[in-house]
């Protein structure tokens, strides 16, 4: 589970048809001439393209009105509209050049941070301005290390987006097979944990015996910001292949006692750093308890995305310190390093795998999941769930034998348990540098 890219590094969104970003990822404010139809819109874009070729946004002085103190300034707002349209029509290097000039113009303002805030408020006042700003910030994050002054501009925009996307403003909606096809298609595009293979696969995930919930912003009602997929079972699930099997009969929800969160996906790279995931899970748990009062327990079936990379960097001595039986004498030679252990675990997960290899793999994964850096769990998914007050409950062998699962974690997955009465205590332990774990996990240490 995860990734609210807040959870895992962002990846390029896929189109279910052509592998290209969907239109809502390259967003633009609506044109003032929208009522005149697509021909007028195309004409406007052509004129703006020619305008860009000739001159207008190529020096800082031309951009100064954008930072003006009056948001009702008609001339400045016309300039903002033209800039947004030209930016949307541009691609690649042209966009980066426009951002570089904007950052330079911002840095030249008195009280630059306040001036940048005025700029983005002016952009936000444009038609469909909020969607435009989310797309703009995605580009800013992409080029922030390459364009001077862009980090300061990004900081100002992130602060505003945090306020404009406050969780209190978001709508929680359940998505079903009866939801609009255009919305269901976005689930295929944005799913970041377990790729949706087909429309039948999607239908299985939003069926009556499953749940899929998403947060929406009122100004972007057609775009889920983050969504979670939920399955139900009589016990805690330990294998994603079985969970995603479309051939299984529907679950009897009257007998369900466990809700399993098996995928969380952030959809907007431009909202990185603005977390709604913890609020989403709490809202969903409340919703599920109201709808299915016989539910007793809540857990995840989550990936361990950084495990193979972490293990691959360990020396033979570091691996041995984790996996060896402390009652036995330390081995002197012939101990595999982490890279060889990654290969060994992948091979074992794809086949039967000896009990010795399985036990070593579980101990290595337990050590990784409890590793901390700068006061936070090293693994991004662990960071999210432990930061919400969950605890590491169980590590599952060969739980994800997909190519992605084998690549990132040698097929291992983990259950995080959300025990509602223990969330605050677990969070306190994490703040003390000791992630909460079950007895079974503790015995692996």
Rounded to whole angstroms, how far apart are CA atoms 55 and 214?
44
Nearest to 103 by CA among 48, 47, 159, 150: 150
User: From the candidates 106, 302, 371, 428, which is the catalytic residue?
Assistant: 302
Reduced 3-state DSSP string for the chain = CCCECCCCCCCCCCCCCCCCCCHHHCCCCCCCCHHHCHHHHHHHHHHHHHHHHHCCCCCHHHHHHHHCCCCCCHHHHHHHHHHHHHHHHCCHHHHHHHHHHHHHHHHCCCCHHHHHHHHHHHHHCCCCHHHHHHHHHHHHHHHCCCCCCHHHHHHHHHHHHHHHCCHHHCEEEECCCCCCHHHHHHHHHHCCCCCCCCHHHHHHHCCCCCEEEEEEECCECCCCCEEEEEEEECCCCCCHHHHCCCCCCCCCHHHCCEEEEEEEEECCHHHCCCCCHHHHHHHHHHHHHHHCCCCCEEEECECCCCHHHHHHCCCHHHHHHHHCCCCCCCCCCCCCCHHHHHHHHHHHHHCCCCHHHHHHHHHHHHHHHCCEECCEECCHHHHHHHHCCCEEEEEECCCCCCHHHHHHHCCCEEEEEECHHHHHHHHHHHHCCCCCECHHHHCCC
Nearest of 229, 284, 292, 281 to residue 256 by alpha carbon: 292
Question: Which residue of the set 385, 402, 409, 438 is catalytic?
Answer: 385
Our answer to whether residue 81 is catalytic in this structure is no
**Nearest by Cα to 134 from 268, 318, 294:** 268
Q: Which residues pair with 414 in a beta bridge?
A: 302, 395
Longest Cα–Cα distance in the chain: 82
Please, what is the Cα angle at 156 between 151 and 161, to 5 degrees?
115
- Verify whether residue 385 is a known catalytic residue: yes
What residues are annotated to the active site? 302, 385
């Amino acid at each position: 589970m995860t990734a609210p890219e807040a959870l895992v590094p962002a990846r390029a969104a896929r189109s279910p048809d052509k592998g290209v970003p969907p239109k809502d990822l390259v967003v633009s404010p609506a044109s003032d001439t929208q009522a005149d139809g697509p021909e007028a819109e195309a004409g406007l874009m052509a004129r703006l393209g020619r305008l860009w070729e000739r001159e207008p946004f190529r020096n800082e002085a031309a951009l100064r009105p954008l930072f003006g103190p009056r948001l009702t300034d008609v001339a400045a707002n016309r300039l903002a509209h033209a800039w947004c349209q030209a930016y949307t029509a541009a691609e690649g290097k042209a966009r980066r050049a426009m951002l570089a000039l904007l950052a330079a113009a911002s840095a030249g303002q008195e009280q630059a941070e306040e001036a940048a805030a005025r700029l983005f408020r002016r952009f936000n006042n444009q038609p469909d301005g909020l969607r435009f700003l989310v797309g703009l910030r995605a580009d800013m994050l992409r080029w922030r290390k390459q364009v001077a002054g862009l980090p300061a501009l990004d900081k100002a925009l992130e602060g505003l987006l945090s306020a404009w996307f406050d969780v209190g403003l978001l709508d929680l909606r359940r998505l079903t097979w009866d939801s609009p096809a255009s919305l269901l298609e976005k689930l295929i595009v944005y799913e970041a944990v377990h790729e949706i293979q087909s429309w039948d696969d999607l239908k299985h995930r939003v069926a009556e015996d499953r749940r899929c919930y998403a947060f929406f912003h009122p100004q972007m009602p057609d775009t889920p910001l983050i969504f979670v997929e939920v399955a139900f079972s009589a016990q805690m699930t330990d294998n994603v292949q079985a969970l995603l099997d479309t051939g299984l009969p529907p679950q009897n929800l009257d007998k369900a006692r466990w809700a399993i969160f098996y995928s969380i996906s952030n959809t907007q790279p431009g909202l990185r750093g603005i977390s709604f995931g913890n609020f989403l899970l709490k809202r969903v748990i409340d919703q599920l308890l109201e709808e299915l009062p016989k539910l007793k327990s809540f857990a995840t079936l989550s990936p361990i995305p950084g495990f193979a990379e972490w293990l691959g960097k360990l020396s033979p001595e570091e691996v041995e310190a984790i996996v060896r039986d402390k009652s036995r004498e330390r081995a002197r030679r012939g101990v595999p390093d982490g890279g060889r252990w990654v290969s060994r675990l992948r091979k074992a997960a794809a086949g039967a795998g000896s009990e010795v290899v399985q036990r070593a793999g579980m101990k290595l994964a337990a050590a990784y999941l409890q590793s901390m850096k700068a006061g936070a769990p090293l693994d991004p998914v662990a960071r999210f769930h432990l930061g919400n007050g969950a605890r590491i409950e169980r590590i599952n062998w060969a739980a994800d034998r997909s190519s992605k699962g084998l690549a990132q974690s040698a097929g291992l997955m983990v259950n995080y348990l959300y025990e509602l009465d223990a969330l605050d205590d677990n969070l306190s332990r994490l703040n003390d540098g000791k992630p909460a774990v079950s007895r079974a996990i503790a015995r692996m240490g």
